[in-house]
Structure 1
Amino acid sequence: MIVPQVDTAKIFCTIFILLFFGNVARAQKSITSRILDFDKNDVVEDVSVRIQNTDKGTYSNQDGFFTLDGVADHDVLVLSKIGYTTQQVRAGDLKSDVYLFQEVSALKEVLLRSFSSSQLKRVVPDQIYLSQNDIEKLPFVLGEKDVIKLIQYTPGVQQASEGQSGILVRGGNASMNLTLLDNIYLHNTAHLGGLFSAVNSDFVNSLEFSKAGFDAAYGGRLSSVTDLKTLKQPDTTHFQGSIGLLSAKLTGNIKLNKKNSLLLSGRRSYLEIFKPFFNDENSILGKKKNYFLYDFLAKHDSELSEKSTLQTTLYLTSDDFKDLTKGRNRRLSWGNLLLGTTFKYWVGDGLSSQTTMSLSNYKISFSDNDFPYNYNAHSSFNVFGVKHHFLWDKENYVLKIGAEYNKNEVLPKKVAANIQGSPFEILNQETYNYDEASVFGDVEFAVRGKLEAKMGLRLTSYITKENALVGKEEFFSFEPRVSFKYSLLNNQALKVSYHRLAQFVHQASVGAFSLPADFFVVSTEAVKPQFVNQFSLGHSYEKNSLQLNGALYFKRVSNYTEFENGSLNNLLSNNLYDDILTGHFNSYGFEASLNKKINKLTAQASVTLSKTIAKFDKINQGNYFSATFDRPVNISAIAHYALSDRIELGALFIFTSGQNYTRPQDIRIVNERPIINFEAKNASRFPNYHRLDLSCTYSFKPKGRWNSKLNLTLYNAYNNKNLFQTSFSTEGNVDDSYIEIKENRDYLFPFLPTVNWLFSF
């Protein structure tokens, strides 16, 4: 028998090689990480992530995350993006967060990073993305930096009537704007007078605002979408806050452990302390008036694994206002309650998913005795929502598909009233319930050469539940959205967009009550859902430290509603739908904005010239008339000057046309029932609103991690009397056949100096 000779060395080598490469193969894995800007602690999107000496790689998505499959620990990842230093990191050393450093180079001019982000990169026109760093550059308003105010300084956007909540976008009313806070619906976005927004900017990480070419994931509103995200998990615990003459606030972003953090933020005003210093009873700070606000946010962030996160947000706002001047007994209180949780999962290879469950409650109660009536009323708007989407963020395209369900509960009004002590019988409205179910999808991609496109479609089913006033109704909406961007040169782009949107609720206002006393009614067969068709054409130009953007737009809103007999009659009506008239309005305009940095001076200016006209068969003999929110001229300007390393100067100027309104003329007694007689629709206009704010901020020398500033703001520097609310008093009694109505005007804040101490540690 021949025994074969065994080469022990070869066998050993073979086994070693097999074991080695087997271990290498087994060591290959999927990795996920987030890329952040070291200076701003903000996410960096579109970062190229490549495995060195290979063609394998990906890009970070809009949340800064990237995922790579089949990576070994010894592989070297190369992270690069223009404006940042290229970084190399071994896959085995990769952390959950990777920081990039901004590339510093000697330039004659510093590239401007202004209040509105670059429009060149975005396919959708009239869309603004703002980071925490942008918010820091805001001017001070009464010692605070207000992120919602930032939107009001952009073209095509205005504050609602003084004292009312929300913003007006391209002729639409406040109900036509969708606001989301951590993916949760926020119904009321302002505290009293719009002076403070309901969102404390200290806890805001980013804001995305759109007024054209909406993402298909958004629906239910016609004019705009504001998507607010709160602060993300910090590397270390951080606190910031301020103490001022009018309010105080404190925000803490607390790192509990490696995978969990807690964000807490609170704010409270104490305007009542300063009432003795103001003798003018027409001012909101006058005697026999009292007002306070507070808001509170709590959010828990948890990294469940390398690929999944869970965040839960609770948010509360509350306002309380009393006015006992001029024989009034006017009281208001209102507030939001938001609760929601969002689960994110990164599957890999650019695929991620997101699921949100949320609850949003809004309540308002108000009472008054301006007319022969004494009344009190309540209204509420509640939404329970579930939303899920998948996102494929690839090098050549971005695709999003998903579904959404909202269960809505609306109580338009519950009113009790009397006339000189005698009860006034009112059939109160039942709660309206309706369901919305939607599927949506959109894709952004390069068409060819310099042409890029974003296309989307949203399909929605709307069903009401039957009650005494509303039958079981069902509507279906088909909502396409499309946008194109053509890059003319490296620094110019031409954009065009079209979208069709549906809204299933209609807003009613107690117009003589110039406060957020608005309520909503649902769509029926007689009062169909509102639809908008909007076209927008824009041009963007950027060079060095200059940004110039312009846009033309036209929008038509069909099934737009107004109230035939006046808002207070409507408040006391037995059936809201008896007074509703349906028509349409057209809005068109030109918008332009300019941003420029010259050495230590940064300036922004915007102008909007627009017209909004409405038409109803039963109003103004069927002819067009100026809509309620037609404000032809809107101008804003902001300037910031760094006088030194310690001292910053700021200025803000606003001018906007007054809002139209319908003035009651007298009260006629018909069959022992008082009927208010109004002038022609929107025949009157409030005075133009304008004011100048000046500020100076001094930064103290840092002490370790402790930083502080002292800010002086001169609000309404030249003391212009801007209209806050219009009320009406009567001369006569209900025994007369005719009662004269007298108009009274109250004004917003006068010249008001404030001092705020801001700190962080």
Structure 2
Amino acid sequence: MSNNKLVCLLFIFLFLGNKIIAQKTVTSRILDFEKAEPVQDVSVRLININKGAYSDENGVFTLDNVSDTDILVLSKIGYATISITVRDVEEDVYLSPEFSALKEVVIRSFSSSQLKRTVPDQIYFSQKDIERLPFILGEKDVIKLIQYTPGVQQATEGQSGLLVRGGNGSMNLTLLDNIYLHNTAHLGGLFSAINSDFVESLEFSKAGFDAAHGGRLSSITDIKTLKSADTTYFEGSIGLLSAKLTGNIKLNKKNSLLVSGRRTYLEMFKPLFGDDNSILGKNKNYFLYDFLTKHTLKLSKKSNIETTLYMTHDNFKDQTKGRNRRLKWGNVLLGTTLRHQFSSVLSSQTTISNSFYEFSFSDNDFPFNYNATSTFNVFSLKHHFLWDRSAYLLKTGAEYNKNKTLPKQVEASVDSTPLVVLNQETYHYDDVSVFGDLELPVTDKIKLKMGLRWATFFAKANALLEANVFTSLEPRISIKYQILDDQAFKFSYQRLEQFVHQASISSFSLPADFFVISSNTLRPQAVNQVSLGYAYEENGLQINSGLYFKNVSHYTEFENGSVNNLFSNNIYNDILTGKFNSYGLEVSVNKKVNSLTVQGAITLSKTRAQFDGINQGNYFPATFDRPININTIMHYRLNNRLELGALFLFTSGQNYTRPLDIRVIDEKPILNFGAKNGARFPNYHRLDLSCTYAFKKKERWSSKLNLTLYNVYNNKNPFQIYFTTEGAADDTFIEITENKDTLFPFLPTVNWVFSF
């Protein structure tokens, strides 16, 4: 479908929706500002409408069929009356006693509160948290919300994946509606593979994982899409760089449909930016799209079935200075979840799903022409029971995964003469797990969470590998000690194993990595991690700090760099195993008062790796050792019409091993490298500013106009380092020259955001 047709369709959706009103249900709890206790019988009324409710004995009220711009008036004798728009209603709203009344309501709740959680470093984000993000080229990105938390960094420049406490991207598990998502990155770092418009909530853990999750060492990201709609509504945006539309459609009493699509069209606006070194250069072309649809069927009051289909696609072409580089990658997810509520305390969930990822790239560097493809496929069946009682919470279940991975399939030539490359076979392996989690209070001040996961990994034989079976027992424990009502100390320990290994191509800032499975010579990776945390929350201020230490064994690196492995007959021959230690200090501060939200985070860390066959067995900086990471975010709502946002990022550059020259031996390229990870990308930093104006709401729809200034001071952040060569293919020595492509330059954009 052409871009013009896409834009036309979006406008048709908009103007044919004049009989659909964007409405929702709002639920909140009203607390005394001084005592932080529930306030009962508070009158909650909509201005100019004969509609309202009263808070119950827990301070909770619910109102149906309201819109974001409706104004609520909260009043009770002895308390100051306040007015607040529906869009600003938080999980908790505070009333001030009359003698200490404030002119405006002070919103002090944190849906991302760590004080309330037993596990340190486990964070929950709601739609409200996403709404407070500043726009980045018209987008509010939920994955970036994670990147702004301590201990987390974006992946290599130009991607929106995650690096958590020194681990690589393969050590993170991402679930979308309980379905495995292999790659969360779109190129350029502007967009992640998750369109935040369809996100209901996100839970992120970097320690104390639920026992229901395993197979990864660094983090768990659990994303839930929007719930079934009470009424039909649409929202979306049209801007200079992308367009998107999300519809939550009520089909009938039992069926609803969530549909969401997004597409960029950077190629249309490249003439406005004449920087050949950036991704917007005239000899480069890039676009992405993603699409989601979810059908919800209510079988009864106690049961429902959700079926989710999600697809992403990236396409990048670079023909600058004689290059012919092409990259494509994407995910296809399909899954069905059955939920059943047996009683008020017992429920179950069953999910069957399939996730497929493919990455391909071609190039003419070094001076060989080649193209390579890598795939990763997971079929999964999961089931658990949940007992949620006032005295404890118990979760037990099992999981089965059938996996296939093709590390690489390569075709190559020299001067149009094909090279004989003995490619890898597809690896087949299964894993089966059973797990249990128990959370309960030990005393009034101490809360305990214990988990245990038993996993077995079955690798099937092929031409390179023998059949293998590995078994792991993975305990995890977390303790929270509530010092005072507003302060808590936390501790966690976990031991985890990962049967899949990622060997990174460190000189590429692109998702060009190979995945291989454990074998007799390549044992499963294992981590032992200890975390200490402190949480403080009071009067709109949230402070969280933590110390962590993690040790990862059987960590993998390439012995001789990246391109050698494209032509290797056995990729295992060029992989070394070692270990790395990572430790750090993480601090974050959030402040929310009235319409102002400010948050900042700093991480100071070290990650050092050790391999017997690298650097004479001495420790060296790991690929993802990035010692300093700082970010600040500001969101300010001046009034019901105008919002301002700002974002500043600073991150140490990624390490890489620089190739020095190429020796051609028996028509095969052998790279000569410098010291392992002896070079580092330049530090990454940028400032973004945004301003959003909300037009007066009409009867049928509402809209906003957003202006974003991306990379305000035009810092030349590189998103890839590439190497050019001088010489002929039949030379025995070829010199290599290092070059850098920059990320996006200063880029002003305008986006129209609408809902109806």
Task: State if a TM-score over 0.5 links the two structures.
Answer: yes
Matched, 1:372 2:367: yes
2:614 — aligned with what?
619
8 Å Cα contact 1:638/1:650 also seen in 2:
yes
Matched, 1:211 2:206: yes
CA displacement at 1:509 relative to structure 2: 2.7
Whole-Å Cα distance in 1 between the matches of residues 377 and 248 of structure 2? 29
Q: 1:83 to 1:721 in 2, by over 3 A?
A: farther
Matched, 1:551 2:546: yes
In the alignment, which of 74, 95, 101 is matched to residue 105 of structure 1? 95
8 Å Cα contact 1:585/1:614 also seen in 2:
yes
Secondary structure of the residue aligned to 2:470 is strand
Instruction: Tell me the amino acid that sits aligned with residue 278 of structure 1.
Output: F
CA displacement at 1:739 relative to structure 2: 1.1
| Alignment map for 1:733-744 (pairs within 5 Å) | 733-744=728-739
Instruction: Tell me the amino acid that sits aligned with residue 658 of structure 1.
Output: G
Worse overlay, 565-574 or 171-180: 565-574
Secondary structure of the residue aligned to 2:342 is strand
CA displacement at 1:519 relative to structure 2: 2.2
CA displacement at 1:591 relative to structure 2: 0.2
Matched, 1:84 2:60: yes
8 Å Cα contact 1:80/1:86 also seen in 2:
no
1:18 — aligned with what?
none
- Structure 2 unaligned spans of 5+: 1-21, 32-53, 64-88
CA displacement at 1:702 relative to structure 2: 0.6
CA displacement at 1:228 relative to structure 2: 0.3
Instruction: Tell me the amino acid that sits aligned with residue 677 of structure 1.
Output: N
| Alignment map for 1:598-677 (pairs within 5 Å) | 598-677=593-672
Secondary structure of the residue aligned to 1:621 is helix
Secondary structure of the residue aligned to 2:129 is helix
Instruction: Tell me the amino acid that sits aligned with residue 105 of structure 1.
Output: L
Matched, 1:124 2:119: yes
- Structure 1 unaligned spans of 5+: 1-37, 48-77, 88-98
CA displacement at 1:267 relative to structure 2: 0.4
1:30 — aligned with what?
none
Q: 1:45 to 1:565 in 2, by over 3 A?
A: farther
Whole-Å Cα distance in 2 between the matches of residues 125 and 211 of structure 1? 8
Worse overlay, 652-661 or 227-236: 227-236
8 Å Cα contact 1:202/1:251 also seen in 2:
yes
In the alignment, which of 527, 535, 543 is matched to residue 522 of structure 2? 527
8 Å Cα contact 1:492/1:539 also seen in 2:
yes
2:301 — aligned with what?
306
1:341 — aligned with what?
336
Identity of aligned residues (%): 69
1:269 — aligned with what?
264
Matched, 1:324 2:316: no
Instruction: Tell me the amino acid that sits aligned with residue 753 of structure 2.
Output: L
CA displacement at 1:258 relative to structure 2: 1.5
Whole-Å Cα distance in 2 between the matches of residues 128 and 666 of structure 1? 46
CA displacement at 1:46 relative to structure 2: 14
8 Å Cα contact 2:506/2:623 also seen in 1:
no
8 Å Cα contact 2:125/2:203 also seen in 1:
yes
Matched, 1:189 2:165: no
Whole-Å Cα distance in 2 between the matches of residues 709 and 163 of structure 1? 28
2:193 — aligned with what?
198
8 Å Cα contact 1:595/1:604 also seen in 2:
yes
Output one character per residue of 1:648-706: Cα deviation in whole Å (capped at 9) or x when no partner.
Answer: 11100000000000000001133443311000100000000000000000011111241
CA displacement at 1:419 relative to structure 2: 1.6
CA displacement at 1:353 relative to structure 2: 0.4
Q: 1:638 to 1:675 in 2, by over 3 A?
A: same
Instruction: Tell me the amino acid that sits aligned with residue 725 of structure 1.
Output: Q
1:579 — aligned with what?
574
Whole-Å Cα distance in 2 between the matches of residues 100 and 169 of structure 1? 29
CA displacement at 1:100 relative to structure 2: 12
Secondary structure of the residue aligned to 2:564 is helix
1:704 — aligned with what?
699
| Alignment map for 1:398-413 (pairs within 5 Å) | 398-413=393-408
Output one character per residue of 1:424-478: Cα deviation in whole Å (capped at 9) or x when no partner.
Answer: 1111000000000000001000012200000000000001111011110100011
In the alignment, which of 232, 236, 244 is matched to residue 237 of structure 1? 232
CA displacement at 1:486 relative to structure 2: 0.4
8 Å Cα contact 2:499/2:518 also seen in 1:
yes
Matched, 1:253 2:248: yes
Whole-Å Cα distance in 1 between the matches of residues 542 and 402 of structure 2? 43
8 Å Cα contact 1:611/1:632 also seen in 2:
yes
Select the structure of larger CA radius of gyration.
1
Output one character per residue of 1:274-293: Cα deviation in whole Å (capped at 9) or x when no partner.
Answer: 11112211110111111111
Whole-Å Cα distance in 1 between the matches of residues 417 and 716 of structure 2? 38
Whole-Å Cα distance in 2 between the matches of residues 517 and 638 of structure 1? 31
2:350 — aligned with what?
355
Secondary structure of the residue aligned to 2:192 is coil
8 Å Cα contact 1:110/1:544 also seen in 2:
no
Whole-Å Cα distance in 1 between the matches of residues 595 and 133 of structure 2? 16
Secondary structure of the residue aligned to 1:192 is coil
Matched, 1:486 2:481: yes
8 Å Cα contact 1:360/1:384 also seen in 2:
yes
1:416 — aligned with what?
411
CA displacement at 1:82 relative to structure 2: 4.6
CA displacement at 1:387 relative to structure 2: 0.1
Q: 1:81 to 1:635 in 2, by over 3 A?
A: farther
Whole-Å Cα distance in 1 between the matches of residues 328 and 215 of structure 2? 26
CA displacement at 1:511 relative to structure 2: 3.2
Whole-Å Cα distance in 2 between the matches of residues 374 and 81 of structure 1? 72
2:129 — aligned with what?
134
Whole-Å Cα distance in 1 between the matches of residues 484 and 606 of structure 2? 33
Matched, 1:724 2:719: yes
CA displacement at 1:641 relative to structure 2: 1.8
Whole-Å Cα distance in 2 between the matches of residues 247 and 42 of structure 1? 31
Whole-Å Cα distance in 1 between the matches of residues 439 and 24 of structure 2? 28
8 Å Cα contact 2:111/2:126 also seen in 1:
no
1:562 — aligned with what?
557
Q: 1:194 to 1:103 in 2, by over 3 A?
A: closer
Instruction: Tell me the amino acid that sits aligned with residue 573 of structure 2.
Output: D
Instruction: Tell me the amino acid that sits aligned with residue 688 of structure 2.
Output: D
CA displacement at 1:640 relative to structure 2: 1.3
Output one character per residue of 1:14-66: Cα deviation in whole Å (capped at 9) or x when no partner.
Answer: xxxxxxxxxxxxxxxxxxxxxxxx9974788999xxxxxxxxxxxxxxxxxxx
Q: 1:40 to 1:721 in 2, by over 3 A?
A: farther
Whole-Å Cα distance in 2 between the matches of residues 654 and 731 of structure 1? 37
Q: 1:133 to 1:660 in 2, by over 3 A?
A: same
Secondary structure of the residue aligned to 1:194 is coil
Q: 1:41 to 1:457 in 2, by over 3 A?
A: farther
Whole-Å Cα distance in 2 between the matches of residues 79 and 698 of structure 1? 33
CA displacement at 1:81 relative to structure 2: 6.6
1:284 — aligned with what?
279
Over the aligned positions, Cα root-mean-square deviation in angstroms equals 2.1
Instruction: Tell me the amino acid that sits aligned with residue 692 of structure 2.
Output: T
Instruction: Tell me the amino acid that sits aligned with residue 263 of structure 1.
Output: L
Q: 1:44 to 1:698 in 2, by over 3 A?
A: closer
Q: 1:683 to 1:43 in 2, by over 3 A?
A: farther
Q: 1:102 to 1:451 in 2, by over 3 A?
A: closer
Whole-Å Cα distance in 1 between the matches of residues 408 and 30 of structure 2? 49
Whole-Å Cα distance in 1 between the matches of residues 326 and 29 of structure 2? 48
Output one character per residue of 1:241-272: Cα deviation in whole Å (capped at 9) or x when no partner.
Answer: 00000000000000111221100000011000
In the alignment, which of 379, 398, 415 is matched to residue 384 of structure 1? 379
